[in-house]
């Protein structure tokens, strides 16, 4: 079933059997669901219109849904379709059985080189595709990354559960840690913000916490602006090289995605497996 609006099948909630809750975001809850007609398993995100309207986010939701409906990549969570009733909007999403990378990190504290390099390759490939389609993600972090059946990473959040990160959100747990200097300073930014985030993520995957983490948000800001971080001796030299070349204050000095994909550490350790894109039958 393709999400193009012209031929879009009109779903209602009665087309689904609703299962257990999978998680909740700022504006919605996500449930495991099954399409009655063919038993296809999906994740159904239920968003209350009143909450979106209260925040003045109808336009953003519409835009983000349009963006994600057209993105098809093995490392980007599919948005198959959407529908709505009087009070709610429903997004029919690909189900990622591995859950959140964030929870995986909490369980394991940190990942080995092979797993970390694989995730970095998958992400860099997915972001290359996004940037070619003029989409900047802006919010790559473990909470927004889900895991597929084989542990492959899936970028899941294209902005309908959080606003564009801004300093107003610095009280929100974990958000500030991934902000690049140019966003903290309120400067105009471009797709190179995603490169900074890959560097922060790679560090967190290997070390178990982000590089600029501090006890206060002011201190985190200061450290980001001074690019003040150190590597524990446990981080392999190749990974240190990659991370150092991504965490550059000047956006144009950061490695490009193509260079990340070619980086010796990624090439040597990644075990990326390409899984087929599953289509949702109409």
Per DSSP, helices labelled H in 133-214 are 181-184, 192-207
Residues 6+ away with beta carbon under 8 Å from 77? 68, 93, 94, 96, 146, 154, 155, 156
Based on the residue annotation, tell me whether 139 is a catalytic residue of this protein: yes
Contact 71, 133 (CB under 8 A): yes
Indicate which residue of 139, 157, 177, 194 is catalytic.
139
Q: Give the separation between CA 200 and CA 204, rounded to whole angstroms.
A: 6
Buried-state track 202-234, b at ≥16 Cβ within 10 A, e below 16: bbbbbbeebbbbbeeeeebbebbeebebebeee
Contact 48, 88 (CB under 8 A): yes
Q: Give the separation between CA 94 and CA 65, rounded to whole angstroms.
A: 14
DSSP letter at 169?
G
First CA to last CA across the chain, in angstroms?
4
Q: Give the separation between CA 184 and CA 170, rounded to whole angstroms.
A: 10
Cα separation values, 101 from 85, 155, 244, 269, Å: 32, 10, 23, 19
Q: Give the separation between CA 48 and CA 29, rounded to whole angstroms.
A: 9
Q: Which helix (H) or strand (E) holds 189?
A: none
Closest CA to 163 of 68, 15, 56, 85: 56
The residues carrying an active-site annotation are: 139
């Amino acid at each position: 079933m393709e999400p193009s609006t012209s031929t879009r099948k009109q779903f209602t909630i009665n087309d689904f059997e609703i299962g257990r809750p999978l998680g909740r975001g700022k504006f919605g809850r996500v449930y495991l669901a099954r399409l009655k007609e063919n038993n296809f398993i999906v994740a159904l995100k239920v968003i209350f219109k009143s909450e979106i309207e209260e925040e003045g986010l109808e336009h953003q939701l519409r835009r983000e849904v349009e963006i994600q409906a057209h993105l098809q990549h093995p490392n980007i969570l599919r948005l198959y379709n959407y529908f709505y009733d009087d009070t709610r909007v429903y997004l029919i999403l690909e189900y990622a059985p591995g859950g959140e990378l964030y929870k995986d990190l909490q369980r394991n504290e940190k990942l080995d080189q092979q797993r970390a390099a694989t995730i970095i390759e998958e992400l860099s490939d997915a972001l290359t595709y996004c940037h070619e389609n003029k989409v900047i993600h802006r919010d790559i972090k473990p909470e927004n990354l889900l895991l597929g059946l084989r542990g492959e990473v899936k970028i899941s959040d294209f902005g309908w559960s959080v606003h564009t990160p801004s300093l107003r959100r610095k009280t929100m747990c974990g958000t500030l840690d991934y902000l690049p200097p140019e966003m903290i300073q309120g400067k105009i930014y471009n797709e190179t913000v995603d490169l900074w985030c890959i560097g922060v993520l790679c560090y967190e995957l290997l070390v178990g916490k982000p590089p600029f983490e501090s006890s206060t948000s002011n201190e985190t800001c200061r450290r980001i602006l001074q690019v003040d971080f150190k590597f524990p001796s446990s981080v392999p030299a190749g990974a240190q090289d990659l991370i150092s070349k991504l965490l550059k204050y000047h956006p144009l000095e950061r490695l490009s995605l193509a260079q990340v994909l070619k980086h010796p550490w990624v090439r040597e350790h990644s075990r990326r497996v390409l899984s087929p894109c599953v289509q949702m039958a109409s």
